[in-house]
Amino acid sequence: MNMAIRAVTRSALDRGWTVYGIEEGYAGLIAPADQGKIRRLRARDVGGILGQGGTVLGSARCPEFEDPEVRARGRANLERLGVDALVVIGGNGTQTGAEVLSREGLDVVGVASTIDNDLLGSDVTLGVDTAINVALDCVDKLRVTASSHRRASLVEVMGRDCGYLGLMVGLACGAEAIVLPEADMSPAQVAARIEDAYQRGKKHAIVIVAEGSARRASELERVLLDEHCERIGFELRTTVLGHIQRGGSPTATDRLLGARFGARAVDCIARGETGVLVGLRGREIVTTPLAQVVGGIKPVDMSLVELARVLAV
């Protein structure tokens, strides 16, 4: 997100515009003016942030933003400062709010950013490459201990209701089994995969479990131990990576994507193309109407599930 913030700020300043940064997302937008959640951004204010994870502006949940009167406070804050347009960086919930603001008459451009990569309108969203690499590094480290002690590791990754992150991590690490919301596996099926690895003489087994699956990793471990302990051979250990996946220094891919997304968002505002989401399709930066983005979840490529199975043999 920081590279996108930097790109928006400096691209807008290059056009002679005034730029403000809103702290804590929609919560900061609707906050009373005396709290100072909306602050002027100059070129040096976004210096040195491109290698930092997260966002220097902060983020916060804001369920009250669904109230039209609350949103009106936010628009009034922008009008008071003479703000003509808003760039909104985030995932499904954030872009849902952006679409509502657009319908209410505010010039809004969204930037696709979520590690879940479930947002329609972009093949890859800002942050997902970093999250995959962070999770993959953790799994590689777990494999060292698993091999030394002849264990099977159940590793839970994030992604909410979308299995993209789990699928990519599982494919990249050569997991014996990948459990996803879109491709669930029963405990018996998982046990069979672990047993097969043990019978073939492997020193370890890795099972990736996406958090939105029918069973979380801890529940899956319990069932495996209760019902399939004798057959699997390996000891079992569960690791929930949790919010560690949301940290770390952004990869080069994410930094470049943030730069391109942020600059395109400013270009859209300049030519009056608002109410859209900036995303990536193939190698091209594209825009999609926000009305077509919200309310859906991007499907995962199920052919990669089969590829992961074949390659794990």
Return the bridge partners of 236, or none: 152
161 within 8 A of 212, measured Cβ to Cβ = yes
Q: Which of 107, 116, 118, 161 is catalytic?
A: 116
CA distance 212 to 161: 5
Closest alpha carbon to 290 in 70, 153, 91, 32 = 91
Instruction: Give the list of residues 6+ apart from residue 47 with CB closer than 8 angstroms, or none.
Output: none
CA distance 112 to 280: 9
User: For the CA atoms of the chain, what is the radius of gyration?
Assistant: 22
137 within 8 A of 278, measured Cβ to Cβ = no
Residue with tokens 């700020």: 9
Write the single-letter amino acid at 116: D
Core vs surface per residue 208-246: b (16+ CB within 10 A) or e: bbbbbbebbbeebbeebeeebeeebbbebebbbbeeebe
CA distance 155 to 239: 5
Assess whether 34 carries a catalytic annotation.
no
Q: Which residues are catalytically annotated?
A: 116
